[in-house]
Amino acid sequence: MKHINKTRLLIGATFIIGGAIFFQGCKKEGADLELGAKPVVDFKVVEDTDPNNLILVSTSNVPVIPYWTVSTGFTPVGDSARVNFARAGQYTVKMKAYGMGGVDSITKTINIAQNDPNACLPTKAAGFIASCTQKTWKLNPAAGAYAVGPNAGDGSWWTSAASEVTTRPCEFNDTYTFNFATSVFAYDNKDDFYSDGYLGTVPSQGCQPSANLTGEQAFWKSNPNYRFEVLPGGTKGLGRLKLIGKGAHIGLQKAQTAGEINSGPAGTENIYDIMEMQINAGGSGHDILKLALFFGGGWWHFTLRSE
């Protein structure tokens, strides 16, 4: 594996993008200004601990700074990258690299023959969220189920009180079910919702039947056929939970990755940072999952309890 001066290469890469064309034909006092050979990038795939955990290793012809894009959503940077593929299937890996002489990229397909037998362990994010079969969650019926603040983990702008459990029963009865084998996320609002003022429904507060969600807001009704993915990264390094499908959400409808939007879903996915995973929290027999969603102007936080 090559060891290179990354600061030097970053400066060189910027130099290339901004002025390589100009300098190709320039001479200074009779001497050619050479940036070096254009990189021809390539990489090999090495098995790490098992066939589901692989290492991507740059084998480029000159020192480069590789940027990887894996179809699982993982985007590491560096000469090598460790990648977990939890499920069998076909994946694409793109390596784009910057060298002193230019930029090059290559894309390869990786075939994973089996599901990772360790992926559904409760110590892994996917296993904690979905178990090895499926797992159902509700908002934790206690103070702090909702919170919002300027930073991940900070609910200083507003945090829900214990009284919200009884004043918003039609939110605390919602269920969020994750199926490990199929990656299906099922949302069930129990045919009602809390008419918070931002939704514009009448009356502006209190529980209402789901039929009163109309127009684009109707996408916030129950749906058993959403998808989910567990991605690496997150502010705590525990991973991120991506819900896929128009209207897929946890907690407040307006809290979306695209912003705080009350007229209906703004996109087809929402991404939550996993902030905490507690197994059998306090000996209660329930697991606790804490999530945080960045909506552009701050972070909404949701605390869930397993059923």
Between residues 43 and 49, the one the model is more confident about: 43
Same domain, yes or no: 88 and 201: no
Section 91-102 average pLDDT: 94
Q: What's the pLDDT at 252?
A: 95
- The answer to whether residue 57 scores a pLDDT higher than 60 is yes
State how far the alpha carbon of 5 is from the alpha carbons of 2, 9, 79, 90, in Å. Answer: 10, 6, 12, 34
Q: What's the pLDDT at 250?
A: 98
Same domain, yes or no: 108 and 130: no
Q: What's the pLDDT at 34?
A: 64
Give the tens place of pLDDT for each residue, 11-36.
444 433 444 433 344 444 443 446 67
Q: What is the mean pLDDT of the chain?
A: 89
Final residue of a domain: which of 112, 140, 160? 112
Final residue of a domain: which of 112, 137, 168? 112
Section 96-110 average pLDDT: 95
Q: What's the pLDDT at 204?
A: 82
Between residues 29 and 264, the one the model is more confident about: 264
The reply to whether 1 falls in a domain is no
Task: Count the alpha carbons within 13 Å of 191 in the hemisphere toward its beta carbon.
Answer: 0
The reply to whether 32 falls in a domain is yes
Q: What's the pLDDT at 198?
A: 87
Same domain, yes or no: 199 and 288: yes
Q: Domain range for residue 74?
A: 6-112
As a whole-number percent, the residues of the chain with pLDDT over 90 amount to 76
Same domain, yes or no: 81 and 132: no
Same domain, yes or no: 169 and 103: no
Same domain, yes or no: 189 and 250: yes
Q: What's the pLDDT at 17?
A: 41
**CATH classification at residue 78:** 2.60.40.10
Section 255-280 average pLDDT: 97
- Best-predicted range by mean pLDDT (33-42, 215-224, 231-240): 215-224
Q: What's the pLDDT at 115?
A: 86
Confidence of residue 205 (pLDDT cuts 50, 70, 90): confident
- The answer to whether residue 3 scores a pLDDT higher than 90 is no
Section 118-136 average pLDDT: 93
The reply to whether 118 falls in a domain is no
Count: domains in the chain? 2
Final residue of a domain: which of 112, 147, 174? 112
Give the tens place of pLDDT for each residue, 147-198.
999 999 999 999 999 999 999 999 999 999 999 988 999 999 999 999 988 8
Give the tens place of pLDDT for each residue, 275-288.
999 999 999 999 99
The reply to whether 279 falls in a domain is yes
Same domain, yes or no: 178 and 58: no
